Amino acid sequence: MSADVLLHADNVVKHFGSARRGPLVRAVDGVSLTVHRGETVGLVGETGCGKSTLARCLTRLYELSSGTVRFAGRDISQLSRRQLAPVRRDLQMIFQDPYGSLNPRRRVGSIIGDPFAIHGVADGPERRRRVQDLMRLVGLNPEHYNRYPSEFSGGQRQRIGVARAVALHPQLVVCDEPVSALDVSIQAQVINLLDDLQHELGLAYLFISHDLSVVRHVSDRVAVMYLGQVVETAPARQLYDHPRHPYTAALLSAAPVADPDLADRRERILITGDVPSPVAPPSGCRFHPRCPKAQHRCTAEAPALLARDPADAAHLTACHFPVGDLSELVP
Amino acid sequence: MSATLIEGRSSLRLALARLRRDRVAMVSTATILLLVVVALAAPLIAHLVGHDPTTQYRATGLTPSGLPVAPNRHFWFGTDNLGRDVFIRVIYGTRVSLLVGVVSTLLAVVLGVVVGVTAGYWQGAVDTILARGMDVVLSFPFLLFAIALVSVAGPSIVVSVCVIAFFSFAAVGRIVRGQTLSIREREYVEAARSLGAGDLRIMVVDVLPNLVAPVIVYTTLLIPTAIVFEATLSFLGMGVVPPTPTWGNMLSDALQYYQVAWWFILFPGLALLITTLAFNLLGDGIRDALDPATERLFAEK
Amino acid sequence: MSLLDVHELSVAFPTSDGLVRAVRGMSFGVDAGQTLGIVGESGSGKSVAAMALLGLSRGATVSGSAVFAGTDLLSMAEPDLRAVRGARIAMVFQDPLSSLHPLYPIGWQITETIRAHTATGRRAARERAVDLLGMVGIAQPRQRIDDYPHQFSGGMRQRVMIAMALALNPDIVVADEPTTALDTTVQAQILDLLRRLRSELGMALIIITHDLGVIAQTADEVLVMYAGRVAESAERRDLFYRSHHPYTLGLLASVPSAVGTGRLHPIAGQPPSPIRLPPGCPFAPRCTYRMSRCAAEEPPLLPVAGGDGHRSACWLPADAVGSTAPAQQARFAAVRDSGQVTT
């Protein structure tokens, strides 16, 4: 495995519930994913696709049902809490809800200082100084060290979350919908901040979002999830310009774009029905009930995630009949 | 811009400001402070008035036929059946009530918080055992068991405190457990775990501060219950040993004399009423002040 | 003659921290068959304005006028307003889970609306409900009419809300963030449905949202709101390609583009508090083209170059529209001339 690979998830499975006590929720059902040093991998999908669950499995907040996760060359899937502690210095997470991810009863300086305290890195005045440096780094006023989260706006709270996550200069930060709860103009500020920090600290990101435009903007590579599995993964530009999986194509055509001409012009691929629940996924290819190109093979055989075009090894698709041209999907 | 750090204004501090605006709560606080002062200054007051709580003033304190004397210049609240000064006895009774009430409540709260947080955080087998344990304690018929325990151990202040604490902790524990269950699921606890924080650290640093508000409210509301519990125990002769006056045992004695000595039953009863009312109203005021629904809508920039 | 003519609508709420001036003098019109998009971020006052029109803002001081079919909604008594609500002007809210009553079947909720406003018999009302459910794309409406809200998915519930809104053939449907709580693919379905219904039934549609993409897709006319006032009002393409107000320009520059991956240019700072508004133009503190006049005088909606009815509340020259080089030059020239230094 190349020294460049930072995180490698191999066939990660996470089921909730037990087969005895009723239906099993197959939240993540066999996901393999790689993140290299310094790159940003985007993960998109709708509700129920399992992206948040996957994030928590990768950071070991949830126990995996099966599969492995290797971080910096080391298998972290079965490590105990104590063994995981040093790993957590390098593998961090940013959460979606700026209002829920900060303890309302603690001062901001104390919250950002947590990583230093937990890992015994710095104490007292030294810790204070480093926390204030961090605050400055993320665009907060260091004099607000003693304030409470309720005294900050949503965008500022998210910056606090970012400061906390990058305190110990991790190698990989998993961002779970970091800007979804923010207003448009604030979103842009936080996206730029994440971008700047990536350059300054050499961070890699796994950027999870349902917002396709944001993911396209920040990512080097993008993976699309549907019902607990990755259905397509490719370099960002390529995925958006030439999606090969029908779901990806539909998703892209459904996403609102702030450009009237483009909105009028593009192919409208409307798929019917609702996002199904991960409790009873369809047989074969999970997308087949909603797919305009579905054929008999799709109901029986689940397609593997492979490079379907020999000329393009980086573009993997899990589809028996990948899309060549978008007009194939318009009725 | 000054180089000094700007002080944060937590929601607790905002709550304090709100509480200060609540007139009823302020009057209650003043009343409670007055009671504390009176309790502490009891010997001084006795000295100033010239009577003490246990002396029987048969000459001046009883009528020729041996009945209690009505309130007059010498005995502001009148006397009891043994010629003792009811005013001084009520004041000394304040000491017992407040002491037992507050100490037993504090014990109950500490125990309840420890048990509640442990049960709510660990869940699983630990939670089952502790929660069921609390349920069992809550389903005891308090009074009967209290009486049984006191009969075995003998009546005294210490026994009263322990008995009351034991029967009160479970109510606190249940509430704390419920709160912990919900706090545990908050994203900031998840964040702490993702940073590598251990369970103990999370319980102390993240869970406990969020329990402060409901615990304060519950403590303030538990004190009057404890005071009444103590009064009940002494009323039944199971509390503090006579001749030490408590409102409970005074009421017990006064029952037989209510037709001839209304003051004997009125003043201890009034004292009990005012004290419990003050704590209850203060508790309500604190709960309203901490109500998140009235949190500030727009923060200043 | 507009269907709805709103003039100087203002809504203020007294709070313990001060008077919150959520809407400050908003004026606009909606024509029959037209889709008006009202876009703004949180705190811009867009939802408050819609609620106030229908008399749904309790405790607020509402002033101005909103003339609908000859009468002023804002001076109507509650019983008369109730007759308008639902029947002539209907609302679709953001979160169908909290807007639908969880304990009554959806069929009942629809028929109740119908029977509350018209003298329709129970059977006829039920038939109408079945028709409506079919119209909004619910499969097997006759079977599903007696189901409860929790038995539907988010997208289906939103369709039910739309069916309820259309039950009495209203003249105007106000949709407040109708797709925000929905998944992308479902969002597209709902927007498509709204568009189709609008062209079939001919009602006017007011869509309130923070999502510029939704606006680009569905609106005919657009209002951009900031700090309780209309910052810019224009026809759809004018707004996106020939924007005048720096806030609009800033918003468009903040949104990740569908084509480029250049760095985003967010608007610095934060929206002002509605209790403590700065004097002059509320956007001035964050504006790249701030002139000395801006901090002193709040600009009214002035006509600008381009389409009919394109107006912007800004002191910059009327012909500086869009992001073309000449427009930028005109802006910077204006700033220079005013003696102000650009940021």
Residue pLDDT, tens place only, C75-103: 888 888 888 887 889 989 887 777 888 89
Residues 6 or more apart in contact with residue B299 via CB below 8 angstroms: A150, A151, A152, A153, C273
Instruction: Report pLDDT for C258.
Output: 66
Instruction: Confirm or reject contact between B198 and chain A (CB < 8 A).
Output: yes
Cβ contact C17–B297 (<8 Å): yes
Closest CA to A213 of A188, A230, A234: A188
Q: Which residue of C has its CA nearest to A236?
A: C261
- A263 and C213 within 8 Å at the Cβ level: the answer is yes
Cross-chain Cβ contact B300/C274 below 8 Å: no
Query: What pLDDT, in 10s, does the model give residues B215-231?
Result: 988 899 899 999 999 98
Cβ of A164 within 8 Å of Cβ of B195? The answer is yes
Nearest CA-CA distance, residue B199 and chain C, Å: 35
The two three-digit tokens of residue A102, written as one number = 């900060």
Kindly determine whether residue A143 and residue B9, on different chains, have CB atoms separated by under 8 Å.
Answer: no
Mean pLDDT of C296-325: 88
Residue from B129, B141, B240, B223 nearest B177 by CA: B129
Say if residues B289 and B25 touch (Cβ distance below 8 Å). Answer: yes
- At C304 the three-state DSSP class reads coil
Q: Nearest to residue A263, comparing CAs of C237, C307, C265, C315?
A: C237
Q: What is the DSSP letter of C88?
A: T
Task: With CB atoms and an 8 Å threshold, state whether B6 touches A144.
Answer: yes
Partners of B15 in the β-ladder: none
Are β-strands A66-71 and A221-226 bridged in parallel, bridged antiparallel, or unpaired? unpaired
The subunits that touch chain C, with at least 3 C-beta pairs less than 8 Å apart, are A, B
Q: Do B296 and C275 touch (CB under 8 A)?
A: no
Q: From C238, which residue of chain A is nearest by alpha-carbon distance?
A: A260
Q: B15: Cβ–Cβ under 8 A, 6 or more apart, which residues? A: B213, B286, B289, B290
Please report all neighbours of A, defined by 3+ CB atom pairs within 8 A. B, C
Q: Do C257 and A213 touch (CB under 8 A)?
A: yes
Find which of A24-28, C54-58, C261-265 is predicted with most confidence, using mean pLDDT: A24-28
Contact C228, C274 (CB under 8 A): yes
SS3 C157: helix
Are C179 and C214 contacting, i.e. CB atoms less than 8 angstroms apart? yes
* ipTM reported for the complex, 2 dp: 0.85
Cβ atoms of B299 and B282 closer than 8 Å: no
- Tokens found for residue A265: 């012009």
pLDDT digit string (tens) for C104-158? 999 999 999 888 888 889 999 999 999 999 988 888 889 999 999 988 888 888 9
Cβ of residue B23 closer than 8 Å to a chain C Cβ: no
B298, B300, B301: best mutation site toward chain C, by most C Cβ within 10 Å?
Answer: B298
| Distance, CA of B171 to CA of B182 (rounded, Å) | 17
Name the DSSP class of A72.
Answer: T
Give me A171's structure tokens: 């190698």
* The residue type at B72: N
Q: Tens digit of pLDDT for each residue in A63-83?
A: 999 999 999 989 999 998 888
C98 CB burial (10 A radius; 0-12, 13-18, 19+): exposed
**Within 13 Å of residue C1, how many CA atoms lie on the same side as its CB?**
4
Q: Which residues of B142-180 are buried (b: 16+ CB within 10 A; e: fewer)?
A: beeebbebbeeeebebebbbbbbbbbbbbbbbbbbbebb
Chain A nearest-CA residue for B211: A105
The residues with which C7 forms a beta bridge, in sequence order, are C65
Interface test with C, best of B288, B297, B300 (most C CBs within 10 A): B297
Q: What is the pLDDT of residues B106-129, one digit of tens each?
A: 999 999 999 999 999 998 899 999
Chain B hits for C20, Cβ within 8 Å:
297-298
Q: What's chain C's average pLDDT?
A: 88
B297/C20 touch (CB, cutoff 8 Å), yes or no: yes
Helix (H) / strand (E) element for A214: namely: helix A212-218
Which has the higher per-residue pLDDT, A60 or B293?
Answer: A60
Question: How many CA atoms does the CB half-sphere of A170 hold within 13 Å?
Answer: 33
pLDDT of residue A2: 58
> Are C320 and C331 within 8 A, CB to CB?
yes
Sign of the Cα torsion A151, A155, A159, A161 reads positive
What is the percent of chain B where pLDDT is above 70? Answer: 93
Three-state DSSP state, B156 = coil
Cβ <8 Å between B191 and A93:
yes
> Of A104-108, B29-33, B290-294, where does mean pLDDT reach its minimum?
B290-294
- Cα of A162 to nearest chain B Cα, Å: 11
Nearest CA in chain C to B295: C16
User: Please, which pLDDT band fits residue C228 given cuts at 50, 70 and 90?
Assistant: very high
Chain-centre distance for alpha carbon B230: 10
Global pTM reads: 0.85
Q: Which contacts (CB < 8 Å, 24+ apart) does range B21-24 have?
A: B22/B285, B22/B288, B22/B289, B24/B281, B24/B284, B24/B285
As assigned by CATH, the class of the B12-291 domain is mainly alpha
| Contact present, A76 and A84 (Cβ < 8 Å) | yes
Tell if the CB–CB gap between A255 and C213 is shorter than 8 Å.
yes
List, in sequence order, every residue forming a beta bridge with C18; answer none if it has no partner.
C15
B13, B14, B195, B203, best to mutate vs chain A, most A CBs in 10 Å = B195
Which CATH number is A5-329's, of 3.60.15.10, 3.40.50.261, 3.40.50.620, 3.40.50.300? 3.40.50.300
Task: Please compute the mean of the pLDDT values over residues C275-297 and round it to a whole number.
Answer: 90
Q: Does B298 touch chain C (CB under 8 A)?
A: yes
Looking at beta carbons, which residues of chain B come within 8 Å of C17?
296-298
Low-confidence ranges of chain A (pLDDT < 50): 1
Interface of A with C (CB under 8 A): 46-47, 153, 155, 183-189, 191-192, 195, 210, 212-214, 216-217, 236-237, 250-251, 253-263, 268, 270-272, 274-275
φ, ψ dihedrals at A99, nearest 5°: -90, -25
Q: Measured between CB atoms, does C276 come within 8 Å of chain B?
A: yes
Residue C282: predicted pLDDT: 93
Domains of chain C: 4-223 (3.40.50.300), 248-337 (no CATH)
Which pLDDT does position B49 carry in this prediction?
A: 84
Interchain contact B98–A (C-beta under 8 A): no
C92 sits in the region (left: phi over 0; alpha: psi -120 to 50; else beta) called beta
% of chain C at pLDDT higher than 70: 97
Mean pLDDT of chain B: 86
| Cβ-defined contact of C273 to B300 (cutoff 8 Å) | yes
Residue A256: which of C183, C214, C253 has the nearest Cβ?
C214
Asked whether residue B294 carries a pLDDT value surpassing 60, the answer given is no
pLDDT in tens, A18-65: 767 777 888 999 999 999 999 999 999 988 889 999 999 999 999 999
- Strand stretches in chain C, DSSP E: 4-15, 18-30, 35-39, 61-68, 71-72, 89-92, 172-176, 204-209, 221-226, 229-235, 302-303, 311-312
Q: In angstroms, rounded to a whole number, what is the distance separating the alpha carbons of residues C318 and C305?
A: 6
Say how far apart CA C325 and CA C322 lie, in whole Å.
9
Longest alpha-carbon distance in chain B: 82
Higher pLDDT, B67 or A160: A160
Write out chain B residues lying below 8 Å of A89, CB-based.
196
| pLDDT value of position C81 | 85
Domain spans of chain A, in order of start:
5-329
Q: Which two tokens stand for residue C291?
A: 């002139």
d(CA B235, CA B96): 13
Cβ-defined contact of B196 to A88 (cutoff 8 Å): yes
C223 and C36 Cβ atoms separated by less than 8 Å: yes
From chain A, pick out residues whose CB is under 8 angstroms from the CB of B195.
88, 92, 114-115, 118, 164
What tens digit of pLDDT does each residue of B144-162 get?
Answer: 888 888 888 888 888 889 9
Query: In chain B, what residues touch A164 (CB-CB under 8 Å)?
Result: 191, 195
- Greater model confidence, B64 or A34: A34
B295, B301, B297, B145: which is closest to B233 by C-alpha? Answer: B145
Taking CB atoms and an 8 Å limit, are B9 and A151 in contact across chains?
yes
Query: Crossing angle of helices A108-118/A154-166, nearest 10°?
Result: 20
Contact A259 C214 (CB under 8 A): no
Q: Which amino acid, one-letter code, is at A108? A: V
The pLDDT of residue B296 is 40
Strands A5-16 and A66-71: antiparallel
pLDDT level of residue C206 (50, 70, 90 thresholds): very high
Is pLDDT at B297 greater than 60 in this prediction? no
Q: Is A164 in the B-facing interface, judged by CB distances under 8 Å?
A: yes
The Cα–Cα gap between A293 and A245 comes to 10
Domain ranges of chain B: 12-291
Do A147 and A107 meet the contact criterion of CB atoms below 8 Å apart?
yes
User: Is C48 an interface residue toward B (CB < 8 Å)?
Assistant: no
- Work out the average pLDDT over C215-236: 93
User: Do strands A91-94 and A172-176 pair parallel, antiparallel, or not at all (unpaired)?
Assistant: parallel
